[in-house]
Amino acid sequence: MNLTANTSSSNSSQEKGETVVCRGVEAHTSGPMIKVGREAPDFRAVNAKMEEISLSDYKGKKVILNIFPSLDTPTCALSVRQFNARAAGLTNTVVLCLSMDLPFAQSRFCSTEGLNNVIPLSVFRSHDFMTHYGLQLADGPLEGLMARAVIVVDENGKVCYTQLVKNISHEPDYEATLKAVQ
């Protein structure tokens, strides 16, 4: 009977994935975050024109995936502004800003803010991203949205850097991300 209890507990924590803090409450992701060295799984996301864009569309470029809950929160909006400003000086690099926000809201935010160096993409119907990257919040106050994370994919499609921001209200480490791209 103890063995069964331990197995259940083990499976339960495995299902919860990574642990983050969301509005002062512990929350868990839907699975483990992708690891450095792995090939980045392809995924589809939706742009402002409601067209599906794939990670593979950027093969041969370095790709920064800026993943966050929603542009309607101050920290998420700030991260998009920061990556927009910092991306201007990067060569052969694209910044994809991924959230569950609808493409219309993402487009409105970027055009209102004058952000031209990032590409907002919605993963609201991207089951392949949810499955392979494990960053959807499985519980907590923002359940169903994405955790805050940054993933860098090199020109060959390999993950060369990951950063899961443990407290969702904090910004990612921009300098560490940019260093991974150089």
Instruction: Give the span between the Cα atoms of 39 and 153, in whole angstroms.
Output: 8
Q: Of 76, 97, 110, 160, which is the active-site residue?
A: 76
pLDDT of residue 10 exceeding 50, the answer is no
pLDDT of residue 51 exceeding 90, the answer is yes
pLDDT tens digits, 150-167: 999 999 999 999 999 999
Partners of 21 in the beta sheet?
26, 167
Which whole number is the average pLDDT over 119-134? 91
Which band of pLDDT confidence, cut at 50, 70 and 90, is reported for residue 109?
confident
Q: Is 144 left (phi over 0), alpha (psi -120 to 50) or beta?
A: left
Partners of 97 in the beta sheet?
66, 120
Please give the sequence-ordered ranges of beta strands (E in DSSP) within the chain, or none if there are none.
19-22, 25-28, 44-46, 52-54, 62-67, 93-99, 119-122, 149-153, 159-164
Which whole number is the average pLDDT over 170-179? 95
Which whole number is the average pLDDT over 100-119? 88
Whether 76 is catalytic: yes
Between 116 and 40, residue with greater pLDDT: 40
Instruction: Give the span between the Cα atoms of 142 and 22, in whole angstroms.
Output: 7
What's residue 66's pLDDT? 96
pTM: 0.88
Which superfamily does CATH assign the domain made up of 16-181 to?
Answer: Glutaredoxin (3.40.30.10)
The per-residue pLDDT of the chain, averaged, comes to 88
pLDDT tens digits, 56-98: 999 999 999 999 999 888 888 889 989 989 888 899 999 999 9
Which whole number is the average pLDDT over 103-127? 89
What's residue 16's pLDDT? 59
pLDDT tens digits, 28-42: 999 999 999 999 999
